[in-house]
Amino acid sequence: MQEEDRFIPNAFKEPPHPHSVPLSERTERTFKLVIAFDGTDFNGWQRQGNGLGVQQVLEERLATLFDVPALRVQGSSRTDSGVHALGMVASFRAPASPYIPDWKLMKALNRLLPPSIKIRSAQIVPDTFNARFSACGKAYAYVVNTGYISPFSDRWSCDVADIVDLEAIREGLEYVEGTHDFSPFTIQLQEEKDHVRTIYRAELKVFGRFLCFHIVGSGFLYKMVRAVSGTLIEAGRGKIPAENIRLALETGDKKYIRDVAPGKGLFLLKVFYEPEEWKSHTLELLPFHMF
């Protein structure tokens, strides 16, 4: 390891930045992180006992930075094994000491984190902010590769070579838009909970051999996007009519849907914290070409 790459926690106790807050004014702060990660080698976002989660890796690095035994992070949502993110949001309370400015926190974390996890931004936010409970919407993309299989894109897309009907996919996405009870599209039905969600936009984007199901909504059920995507894929293959999605939403009957699509094709693109923020969100590139 080169000298400049060696991390020394105590180096942050007296930050040399000219705009550092005086020691007498330093208190605990709430940070908001925007995180990108390749989920291929992780068992989802959340910390758990049966595999390594992105949350666990981040918490361990933060504990090292702030020289504390443990530091808990709140994620904007959980993701399944193999699912990726460009805009996962996390929040945490930072100890008063050592005082690490937001600009230095991002740089330090990105030196400590593995290549598959990177911090896109770090900022101090009001203490009322919570990455999960302050969110008012999310945007996802599910990527399907209809052509040759690359050893690189295979990590980030579902391979389906026999898609024959793009219009069926578009029709199915039209049924998804609006406010519906999405109970048929979750594998973790909880009778005491509300399963109604509003989908603001559901569209098909085509980038060469790649198809993207771009879905933006107020919230999502467990594995909902993957379940919708699996049914859309079967409609695109000509195996089921696109109307099955409408029938599933109207009747609540799971017989109209198909198996959930593999996690590797799913990307959490963005989390919204303002009610109208979703309106300016667009998908102009493949998720793994966006930055």
- In sequence order, which residues have a C-beta less than 8 Å from that of residue 65 and are 6 or more positions away? 9, 12, 100, 105, 108, 109, 112
Q: What's the rounded Cα separation, in Å, for the pair 284 and 288?
A: 12
Q: Which residues of the chain have pLDDT under 50?
A: 1-19, 23-24
Q: What is the DSSP secondary-structure string of 240-284? A: S-THHHHHHHHH--GGG--PPPPGGGEEEEEEE-STTGGGG----
pLDDT at residue number 8: 36
In sequence order, the β-bridge partners of residue 90 are 33, 75
139 exposure class (CB count in 10 Å sphere: 0-12, 13-18, 19+): buried
Q: Do domains 3-125 and 137-274 have the same CATH topology?
A: yes
SS3 287: helix
Cα separation of 240 and 257, whole Å?
9
Upstream peptide bond of 22 is cis (omega within 30 degrees of 0): no
What confidence score (pLDDT) does residue 174 get?
98
Phi, psi of 71 (to 5 degrees): -145, 120
User: Which pLDDT does position 227 carry in this prediction?
Assistant: 96
| 215 C-beta neighbours (distance < 10 Å), count | 25
Q: Give the H or E element holding residue 198.
A: strand 196-207
Q: What is the model's pLDDT at position 267?
A: 98
Q: What is the pLDDT of residue 3?
A: 36
Per-residue pLDDT, 13 = 41
**Residue whose C-alpha is closest to residue 185's, from 247, 240, 95:** 247
Contacts for 118 with CB less than 8 Å, ≥ 6 apart? 35, 36, 37, 110
pLDDT of amino acid 23: 46
In this prediction, residue 10 carries a pLDDT of 40
Distance between terminal CA atoms of the chain? 28
Q: Which residues pair with 210 in a beta bridge?
A: 145, 207
Give 3-125's CATH code, choosing from 3.40.120.10, 3.30.70.580, 3.30.413.10, 3.40.50.1820. Answer: 3.30.70.580
Active site (catalytic) residues: 80
Per-residue confidence (pLDDT) for residue 48, from 0 to 100: 80
Widest CA span of the chain, in angstroms?
68
Contact status, residue 271 vs residue 130, Cβ threshold 8 Å: no
Would you state the pLDDT for residue 25?
54
Domain 137-274 grouped into CATH 3.30.70.660: yes
Domain ranges (residues) in the chain: 3-125, 137-274
Q: Quickly list H helices, 130-223.
A: 166-176
